Structure 1
Amino acid sequence: MRARRLRAGLKGWGGVATMAVACALVAVFALCVPLSGRGLDDGRSVTQASQTTVEKAEEDCEAPEKQTLSPSSADGDTIQAIKDREGEKRKLIVGVDQNSYRWGYRNPNSGKTAELEGFDIDLVHRIADDILGDPDAVQFKAIPTDQRIPAIQDGRVDMVVRTMTINCDRIEDVAFSAPYFKTGQQVLAPKSSPVKGYDDTLADRKICTAAGSTAYSTLEADQKDGKLPATTDISTTVPNQLDCLVRLQLGEVDAVVTDGALAASQAAQDPTVQLKGDAFTAEYYGVAMKKDADDLVRRVNQILVDYREDTANGWQASYGKWLSATLGKDAKKSEPPAPQYLRNT
């Protein structure tokens, strides 16, 4: 993503990137390139290698949702370690949200001690059923937005299923499955607000986003590139996306920017707010896992293939149960594209 922004800046998109920034980034890439004796003799070799690194990073990141491994039902070391857990610990450990209405939330009216429910939760149960033979063999861990990647890297969870967008920065830190949902960033604001969408009506307005979210990084980049008014205040960030709705209700911010799928659910919770304008990005949710958990990535991708094909109890049924009321009965705009498995290692 950084490489793409650099290239965009040099082409004049927004006019805010400078040659000094370009030189600094090239220098950083140069430090990462192994120096051969030939490179020491000719500085141009290092420069050319650095440029190649930049171009390769940009090329690989054109479609981060395709950078995943082909499906397989085979067990590997990661899956076997999960299966080898004994007694009550023989569960799939999954990082989820407990505050996103219809995605991952505790329903106080469920009659089951407020168990977690939602579209993401259905997928977790499906994965657990396939790997452990029991859809309820899950240990849910509620984690805030900005702790999703650390939780995976630290081994606190086996995976994260939490409306997590696949993007260029994140595929450097974790491995993703193929996409399981398509969405895009949108603006949520009070119905009476003069804000009309992601445009100049956000000038002099305060926006709330979740810390560590794609929404915040998009706003930050767009403001630097001049696509978002310079007077828009994007400094308000919260641990969980639902906290933004609370800030909006209290009048502490003027608008919220988040995934349209989440924003629609928040609008369903509060009839005084609504989506403003169309989605201004195209994004895809994926299941996130450790970088070296190849067998688990392949297994989840196989599960997703089967989940999509299961019309009775799979993706479509879960959409109809949880999301059709807020996103519409026609699920086509939310269906992920046909998966491509372009990651080789």
Structure 2
Amino acid sequence: MRIRRTRAGHQAASAPAAATAGAPAAAEAARPRRAVRRLRGWGGVSAMAAACAVTAAAVLLPLARTSPGTAHRNAVQEPATMAAAPFAPADTCQDPEASLAPSGMDGPTIERIRKAGKLVAGVDQNSFKWGYRNPDGHLDGFDIDLVKAIAKDILGREDAVIYRAIPTSQRIPALQEGRVDVVVRTMTINCKRLEDVAFSTAYFEAGQQVLAPKGSHITGYDASLQGRRICTAAGSTAEAALKAKSYGAAAVSVPNQLDCLVRLQLGEVDGIITDNALAAGQAAQDPSVQLVGAPFTREFYGVAMNKDASDLVRRVNKVLENYRAGGEQSPWAVSYRKHFENVLPGQAQPPAPKYRNG
């Protein structure tokens, strides 16, 4: 990522030009001034993006490195966009959140992970409060806490993890190709994805919502998007929703959610559609943006795994049973208070698990 200086002397990340079809001329003319103003007011998103990229290269193992029990694979090139699934009511299967019954029994996948001595987890490192880098360089967040609980249950140590940062659109390929054992990355359970991967029971409930600058004329997922440049992450349910019903918006697709926030800071897009749980973390990073309108979907996050790893699915569901247990003192509640109490009020308990026969 190149670094350039604005006329005011502030550093800003240089991003590819966003799609501008249909954008109002006034918005185009105001773009440079708006970008400088936002960078003055916050000044950290672009720097954070660059810092995350440098840290990832030094600390996280590359996604294409060989996973335990898999053959060497070539380096991953620019991620391809996953085929968009219809948005809510999206699902044609019954009870997509219903997973396999929990079990503490070992199986071939568990034995392979134990033999390797590490759980290989696909995570985010750019989503504040979910998976991100602390100032001391360590990964932190709600999803990271859950990864640690899974590793402790299977391997006896919460630090027995190889973290691999993956973009949104690479979550499914990473599992199918054996580059990771689990993906814990704010991944919505839906029928389309169940064709390719297996999911645990739900561990968090969210909904798609619009994030826009304070003072914007955008009022939500509605006609106020007409002519606006709206950013989504490639392969996300937000991207699918915008494709299904755009309200006249010009869609801009990027690999990761943080890229959307950077572009919003630079004035290259007018708004973002993403899970409100992710957007709350972005709003906590930048007080000049806010969630607008109401959530227009109801979605549940699950731990994703390979479809053939039924023993691991059952084991993760067992971990989640214990993770939810204990009410306000449960590990789930402790992690929620740590990360979300001040930025995402109103969800003080996890969704109830659903199981299917078999």
Q: 1:59 to 1:98 in 2, by over 3 A?
A: closer
Q: Gaps spanning 5+ residues in structure 2: where?
A: 1-89
Matched, 1:93 2:92: no
Q: Which amino acid aligns with 1:241?
A: Q
Q: 1:343 to 1:141 in 2, by over 3 A?
A: farther
Name the one with the larger helix percent. Answer: 1
Q: 1:296 to 1:288 in 2, by over 3 A?
A: same
Q: 1:83 to 1:242 in 2, by over 3 A?
A: same
Q: Which residue, out of 320, 324, 342, partners 1:325?
A: 342
TM superposition shift of 1:157: 0.3
Q: Distance in 2 between matches of 1:209 and 1:315?
A: 28
Aligned to 2:198: 175
Contact 2:324 2:350 in 1 (8 A): no
TM superposition shift of 1:59: 8.2
Aligned to 2:9: none
Q: Distance in 2 between matches of 1:315 and 1:91?
A: 23
Q: Distance in 2 between matches of 1:81 and 1:307?
A: 24
Contact 1:70 1:298 in 2 (8 A): yes
Contact 2:91 2:191 in 1 (8 A): no
Q: Which amino acid aligns with 2:102?
A: P
Q: 1:291 to 1:304 in 2, by over 3 A?
A: same
Contact 1:284 1:336 in 2 (8 A): no
Q: Gaps spanning 5+ residues in structure 1: where?
A: 1-57
Q: Which amino acid aligns with 1:168?
A: C
Q: Distance in 1 between matches of 2:175 and 2:120?
A: 10
TM-score when scaled to structure 1? 0.75
- Per-residue displacement from partner, 1:264-292 (whole Å, max 9, x unpaired)? 11011011100001111000000000001
The runs of 4+ residues in structure 1 deviating greater than 3 Å are 310-313
Q: Secondary structure at the match of 1:275?
A: strand
Q: Distance in 1 between matches of 2:230 and 2:257?
A: 12
Q: Secondary structure at the match of 1:64?
A: coil
Q: Secondary structure at the match of 1:197?
A: coil
Q: Secondary structure at the match of 2:343?
A: helix
Aligned to 1:291: 307
Q: Distance in 2 between matches of 1:312 and 1:168?
A: 33
Aligned to 1:339: 353
Q: Secondary structure at the match of 1:237?
A: strand
Equivalent residue pairs, number: 268
Q: Which residue, out of 214, 234, 249, partners 2:265?
A: 249
Instruction: State the percentage of identical aligned residues.
Output: 61
- Map 1:1-345 onto structure 2 (within 5 A): 61-66=93-98, 68-85=99-116, 90-108=117-135, 110=136, 114-221=137-244, 223=245, 228-229=246-247, 231-234=248-251, 236-310=252-326, 311-312=328-329, 314-328=331-345, 330-332=346-348, 335-342=349-356, 344=358
